[in-house]
Amino acid sequence: MNQTATTQRQNKEYSATNQAPPETTQPWMADGLCRDHAPGMFFPSDGVGVDKARRICGECPVKEQCREYALTYRIEHGVWGGTSERERRRILRDRRLAAT
């Protein structure tokens, strides 16, 4: 993910969640395939858009780091690491349950 795309995504994300941003860039973001796509593509408004973003993420060499970043910072909106908002909520819930 290039610096501009990263910043645009994060600005959109944090303005949506009203949370303080974590570190704005991570080394792995430079290798994200989304660097060649409009940031809005990763904030789809429907399932078709989610599937399009997921397909790109599926080929991305940093999808694991991206998904964990979104999970760590509780990023609610957008497709990160090939996961939708709903999927990340499910992963977090499953992890909480597994920890109890």
Residues that bind ligand SF4 (CB under 6 A): 1, 32-34, 42, 56-57, 60, 62-63, 66, 80-82
Q: Scan for tokens 């973001």, then name that residue.
A: 29
Nearer to ligand SF4, 50 or 66 (CB): 66
- Least CB distance to ligand SF4 at residue 55 (A): 10
Best CA proximity match to 87, nearest among 100, 70, 99: 70
- Least CB distance to ligand SF4 at residue 56 (A): 5
Partners of residue 43 on adjacent β-strands: none
CB-based closest residue to ligand SF4: 32
Nearer to ligand SF4, 38 or 92 (CB): 38
Task: Calculate helix-pair angle for 47-58, 63-72, nearest 10 degrees.
Answer: 130
- Least CB distance to ligand SF4 at residue 54 (A): 8
Nearer to ligand SF4, 45 or 99 (CB): 45
Count of alpha carbons within 13 angstroms of residue 89, beta-carbon side: 6
Cβ-Cβ contacts under 8 Å for 41 (sequence gap 6 or more): 34, 49, 52, 53, 56
